[in-house]
Every structure is written in structure tokens, then in C-alpha cells.
Amino acid sequence: MSTPPALKDWPLWEVFVRSKQGLEHKHCGSLHASDAEHALQMARDVYTRRQEGVSIWVVPSHLIAASDPEDKDTLFDPASDKIYRHPTFYEIPDEVGHM
Amino acid sequence: MNTLDAQRPAPDAAPPQAPLDYLLHLADNAVVLGQRNAEWCGHAPILEEDLALANQSLDLIGQARLLYQYAAQRLNAEGRTSRPSAWPAGAVTEDTLAYFRGPQDFRNYTLQELPHSPGLVPNAVGERDWGSTIVRNFFYAALMVLVWERLAGSADEQLAAVAAKSLKEVRYHLRHARDWLVRLGDGTGESHARAQAAVNYLLPFTEEFWSPSAVEAQAARNATGVEAATLREAWNAIVDEALAKATLQRPKPVDAYVPQGKSGVHSEHLSYLLADMQSLARAHPGAVW
Amino acid sequence: MYTQAMDTMAKEGKGAPRAVAALSAEDAQRQARFDERIDADGRIEPRDWMPEAYRKTLVRQISQHAHSEIVGMLPEGNWISRAPSLKRKAILLAKVQDEGGHGLYLYSAAETLGTSRAQMLDDLHSGKAKYSSIFNYPTLTWADVGVIGWLVDGAAIMNQVPICRCSYGPYARAMVRVCKEESFHQRQGYEGLMVLMKGTQAQRDMVQDAVNRWWWKCLAMFGPPDADSPNSAQGMRWGIKRFTNDELRQKFVDATVPQARLLGVTLPDPDLKWNEARGHHDYGAIDWSEFWQVVNGHGPCNRERLAARVKAHDDGAWVREAAAAHAAKHTPVEAKAA
């Protein structure tokens, strides 16, 4: 069964929230939204509905660069800098087939 | 400047109170729309929107509760001995008003009670249409940002407090609905067609916002409420901006029937909505939940 | 809410972790490091190396847990429109909304393992992925809502609290969030029932009837007896599963008996009694054939629950497409997904 395109086209966003008393934004999780404004509104509804006066940041997941895991062993793959190791949610053209 | 200030009574007079029917009009609008929007819970186009609409529903139910509680307080204070026979014995509560009044006593705009697939009689069940939901929410929220803004200066302090809270909420509802209106209108060919159909069908229902109302006039006279007709220009500005952004048109104005929901003359839909909403409470009158 | 993924996988015979081919030297090192961390009760994070079987098992368990939350919105959602007071309407709507939120946190955790929301929903809608069997029963009265809060959420909490310490970081963190909200749900369900039990005879009868219908199904929620759950061992080895099915089930019974007494309801099990020697309550035999009937798709509401989810998704396609189309027209090229 092919993946329905419509949901695939809503990119994944990582959500960071700073609570009223908080000092920094904390990563809460992710959600799918069609654009930044939408992502902010969704983040408010999903991650902050019990809190007021918070600050929300949303970032498209693919734009976040991440450091290597703690074990700085050269046996590990060179830094692919994505935050998630597994590639499934990166766009692969259908013609390339199964990866 | 809030023009309600100009009509304030002298400070030593008894504090003015908004007419009871005005409170019920505001409350009924909120509870009926809250009921409709909650229908999407578990069925929205994407999970994130299940949460968004549930939030809006909760806000609306919350507004209705505050207003019904205030109205109930007032009724109990009046100490009237005769009550409608359907009402359970004892003090009037928010639930008495929400669950034990019939459709002819409800004062909501007809717009609120329409199903999410308007344009059909109740027994010809239609699909839930996201476009209709968004357009209706947009038209109502655009009105209520203006109404709650004015009512935040109401001479009725309790109503002013409800207004201040509701204003924060409805600003968010307006943003949500307006942004979706633009996505649908300026999205795909299909979404554009659906959004336009919803606008064409629902805009005429908004004529009711502006029709003369004795209750609104009474509220305006003692500076506790506002005649919605005075907000028409501002509402048109909000609506036209959004429609333009959404690449949608207003349908040509036609001399048509203007709904009278706010006077208790509703569409066929309200009695079904209330039959569902009230059935369990009415099956156990006087029970506590 | 609860997932039965670990146990039902065994019976289905599909997707059970297969024996891995001999590891390369590099992978053997990675496996050793991974095992060390698990043994030290450490956390595995999205960028860490992990055995493929571990990853697959987690994707399956987390996604099915998420599906359970989403499908779980339907039986309780059935009473939102008819809630008998505005306060109860608001409470129930907030609860169902929370469940949707839990689904979201869990889908989000699963996506860190390389699956996508679209793929997970595909699997649910095609029948390939499961969700907790408990949601395939109908909610016939208002009291069912309270009983679900008390018993079903209660059972879910028993299962979920230990997962807050599971080895996979995003799953553990999602569960911490979920557990905070879930205990609020259980309290409200129980409190709602207390009000009914102090009410009219009709209300009290409604509660007892709901308990009679739900009790045994809640016991079965914890999954098959340990003797019939071979995959539990692997789950426990990986730090995904912390207690066995029978252990959790026993804890649940012991916790619930006094609650039922306080409420004034009878749990419908003539064999339920305190066993002084064991220090636990004995309870009667569960009908496992009924459980498997439901897990295999043939319960009272399986078809309707799934059809509702499929319909919502299919009917919503034009909406999702519209939003994507709009974003494509108005978003600068650089910001689009790589």
C-alpha cells in the first residue's frame, strides 16, 4: 500500500517550549503541520494547553543539526548531522525504490 | 474609546445588570457552537486538529457555563415561584438552563446550530465538511472579537469579567479559523470550491447578526451590552480581508429570509441537536452528576 | 493507554524478533556497548546504534500504543454530546482530547525510530497494526464512561508507569508526560462514579451494570498469562517491559478491590477473595477465547472503530492536501524538506 501523499507533505516539526517560570526552551516532541504558523498553533494546542504565558519555538526537523552520540568512536558513521538516525522520513524519490 | 462609558449610570445607583435574555443569547451561542465543534473529536482530518477544535469547544463550553451560572444566580435572586414545568425542582443551575429549556427558548443564532454539512434537511444526513466548520467558525469569531471587546467595558461587572476572558479565547479562535480559511481558499482547486460553497451557503445566515433586537437595544440602553448592528462595518472589514487573502468571493446579496434564531425561531436542526444533548439529563430530572 | 503488542506478536507469529545473522566485528562491539548500557539502566537515544530487532519491536510497540490512544477516543467520545451536565461534558471532552494528545506524543516518539506518521496510519487502517483490544467494546451508558476512567485507565497506568523507566529515551519521556495526565483521568472517572453511587437507584444500577460488563475485559487487558507470553522475556531483557502480564494483573486486582468496596459496587467474580498465604487476592478464570476473538478482529466493535478512523482519514485527505498546497505556494524554497 502506498503512503498517502497528503500527510507526507506536512513536514515534521520539533517543538520547544519555555514555561512561564522556565529559563530555557525544552524539547517536547514533534508534530506535523503544513507551515510555521500552523505548527505554532498546533504546538500551543498539543503541548501547552495547560499552561499560559509560555514561549514556543518550532523548527522543521530536517533543519536541526545534531552532535554525535557520546561514544566518539571512529567505528561509528561519520556525522550525518540529522537529529534522527533513521532515514525513513527523509524524502526519497519513489523511482529509487525500497531503501 | 469604549462608547459604553458615555452611557454609564451615576455611581450611587444600583449596579446595572445585563438583561437575562441577553445573557442567554450569549450563552446559547456558545453552548450550541461548542456542541457542534465537539462533534469533530475523533474524526478530524488530522490528529492535531482534533485537539485544536476540542480546545475551542472547551473554551466555548466554559464561556457558556459562566454565563448560565450568572443567569441562574439572577433567576434565583428574583425568587420567582413559577417555573417552567420541565425544570427540576429546587434552585436554578447552569444545567437547568442548558438542559431543560426547549428549542423555542434558545436564543442562539441559527448559524450556530447548522450541522457541518449545511444545505440539507436534518433527515438527509450529510457528510461532515471541514470547509463548513471553518467558515462558520470564522464568521462567528469575527463577530465575537468585536462583541467581547465592547463587553469588556460593560457596566455589568460580572459580564465584563466573562468578556475579558472570552476575548483572549476568541482571538485565538479567529486566528485558527482565518488561517484555515486562507489555506482552503488558496489551496487546491477542490478546497477552493468547497470553501466557496460554504461561504455562499453560510454568509446569508450572518444577516441575523444585524437584525434589530429589543433585547440588544435594552442592553445597550443601560450600557451593559451592545447592539451587534453597530459592529457591522468592522466585521465586514475582517471578513473582506480574509476572503481576499483566501481568493474567495462574497455571493451576490439577495433579498432572502433572514433567520430569527436569536428570537427563538430556529431551523429544523436545533431540535435534533438539543434532543441529543439533553436526552440523558432529561431522563433523570433532578439527578446530580 | 495499553498496548498488547509484545504478547499478541507471539500468537500472530509475525514480526517476532528473528534470530540475527552473525554480527560483524564492528556490530559486535556496538552490540556489547548497547547491552552494557541496557544493563546499567541507561538510556538509548535516537542517534544511538541499536539492534534492528530492538528498533523494530519499539516501532511496533510505540505505534500500537499510539493507535490505542486514538481509537480509544471513540468509545468515550460516544458520550460527549450527551453528557448530562456541562461540567461533565467539559471533563469528558478534555479527557478525550488528552488521549489524542497522548497519541501524538507517542507517534512523535515512534518517528524518531525511522517510521513516519503516514506509514503508521497506513498500517493501522489496513489492519496490519493492532491497538488495545479493550476499545472494541461498546459504551452503552453514561456509567461506562466513569468505569473506563476508573478501571481501564487504572489498568493502563499500571502498565505505563514502569515504561517511564524504559530504555528508549523518547518513549520513556513521552510516558512521563502521559502518566501525569492519566492519573488525573482515573481520579475523575472514580469521582464521577462516586457521585452516581450517591445518587438515585437508577444511577446506582447504571454503575453496577457497567462494572459487570467491563471488569473481566479489563483483566484481560494485561495480556495472556505469563506461560503463554514468550516474547515478554526479550522485552524485559531490553528494558522495554518491566513487569510480567500476571504481575501487573495481580497488582491491578489488589489495588482495585478496596476501591470497589469504597464505591459500593460488587466486582462480578465469585472466586475473588483474599489469600492470606499469598498476600494477594485470588481471582477467577478469564475467558481467553473471547480475548483472542477480539484481538483477531471479531469483537463487537472492531469493524466500526477501524472504519471510523479510515473514514476520518480519507474524508480529511482534501483538507491535508489543501494545507500542503497552500504552504508550497507561499513557503520560500530553502525552508522545504531536504
CA distance A97 to chain C (A): 16
User: C43 pLDDT exceeds 50?
Assistant: yes
| Cα→Cα distances C71→B35, C63, C314, Å | 21, 12, 16
Interchain CB distance below 8 Å, C326 and A46: no
Interchain CB distance below 8 Å, B54 and C312: no
Chain C residues whose CB is inside 8 A of the B65 CB are 86-87, 90
Q: Which residue of C63, C70, C79, C81 to mutate against B (max B Cβ within 10 Å)?
A: C81
Which of C29, C326, C337 faces A75 most closely, judged by CB atoms? C29
Rounded Cα gap, residues C223 and C249, in angstroms: 9
ipTM: 0.93
Chain B residue with CA closest to A30: the answer is B48
* pTM, two decimal places: 0.90
Q: Tell me the backbone φ, ψ of residue C129, rounded to 5 degrees.
A: -95, 150
Chain B residues whose CB is inside 8 A of the A28 CB are none
Interchain CB distance below 8 Å, A34 and B183: yes
Interchain CB distance below 8 Å, B45 and C70: no
Would you give per-residue pLDDT tens digits along chain B (289 residues)? 455 655 555 666 789 999 999 999 999 999 999 999 999 999 999 999 999 999 999 999 999 999 999 999 999 999 877 789 899 999 999 999 999 999 999 999 999 999 998 787 777 777 899 999 999 999 999 999 999 999 999 999 999 999 999 999 999 999 999 999 999 999 999 999 999 999 999 999 999 999 999 999 999 999 999 999 999 999 999 999 999 999 999 999 999 999 999 999 999 999 999 999 999 999 999 999 9
State the distance between the two ends of chain A, measured CA to CA, in whole angstroms.
Answer: 16
Rounded Cα gap, residues B244 and B239, in angstroms: 9
For chain C positions 280-319, those within 8 Å of chain B (CB to CB) are 308, 311-313, 315-319
Q: Which residue of A41, A44, A48, A56 to mutate against B (max B Cβ within 10 Å)?
A: A41
Interchain CB distance below 8 Å, A34 and C111: no
- DSSP for residue A90: S
Q: Name all chains with 3 or more CB-CB pairs below 8 Å to chain B.
A: A, C
Q: Which residue of B46, B55, B57 to mutate against A (max A Cβ within 10 Å)?
A: B46
Interchain CB distance below 8 Å, C122 and A4: yes
Q: Does B64 touch chain C (CB under 8 A)?
A: yes
Chain B residues whose CB is inside 8 A of the C135 CB are none
Residue among C67, C70, C68, C199 nearest C146 (CA): C199
Rounded Cα gap, residues C56 and C16, in angstroms: 9
Our measurement of the distance from residue B225's CA atom to the centroid of its chain's CA atoms, rounded to an integer in Å, reads 15
The count of CB pairs under 8 A between chains A and C is: 106
